[in-house]
Amino acid sequence: MKIFYALVAGAVLFSSIGTLLNFQRFLSGHIDVSKQAHQALARKETNYFVTKTVFWDLGLLIMFILQHSLMANHRWKNLVNNTLGLSVVERSIYVGASCLALQALMHQWVPVFSGTAWLVDVSSRQGNQLYSLLFFAVHVVAWVLTLGSLLLMDILELGGVKQVYFYCIGLNPPITYKHHSLARIYAHNRHPCALEL
């Protein structure tokens, strides 16, 4: 069973890394705009299309929120831990399902090109290079803070790998070795590093 747990934790770890890289790309706006913009122009985005798209995207967000919330619920944890007997990989299952939900959100997301939520002109006209550099610097600093805070956290425990490792070497779950105040924070907010986003 230890090999099965290790395979599950390893697969989830690698899928998490891939999902995080895709998420960074998604948030940074690196999508195939030319293809989608061409399709949008062909459709001549009507108010109906924009409304339908906004509701579709909201549905995707709700799907991710529900997955995240319902699987963090004590009933789900009891089902996985007690009924199915998978307490060692419970966190890995949660993280894997979150990766799948986030990948589905990113791949099914439909951008709306007809409206502008926010626009700052940082074109190459005289004097705008400073604005362009400023926005780029803010973008890079936000990602460095996010990734840096991940390094300060116990990322292997957050991803479910450490639970499997501790089980394989015969130790108690890693949360039992944490200070009680940190364990209390983790009970309410498992990834405080996402606040920079």
Residue (of 184, 4, 195, 182) closest to 93 by Cα position = 4
Q: What is the pLDDT of residue 53?
A: 85
> What are the residue ranges of helices labelled H in 71-128?
74-78, 90-108
Q: Does 119 map to a domain?
A: no
pTM of the model as a whole: 0.74
Q: What is the pLDDT of residue 169?
A: 94
Q: What is the pLDDT of residue 161?
A: 92
Domain that holds residue 64: 2-114+126-196
Q: In angstroms, rounded to a whole number, what is the distance separating the alpha carbons of residues 114 and 32? A: 16
Which residues of the chain fall short of a pLDDT of 50? 38
Q: What is the pLDDT of residues 93-131, one digit of tens each?
A: 999 999 999 999 999 988 776 666 666 666 656 666 777
Q: In angstroms, rounded to a whole number, what is the distance separating the alpha carbons of residues 148 and 51? A: 38
Q: What is the pLDDT of residue 187?
A: 67
Q: How many domains does the chain have?
A: 1
DSSP state of 189: -
Q: Does 120 map to a domain?
A: no
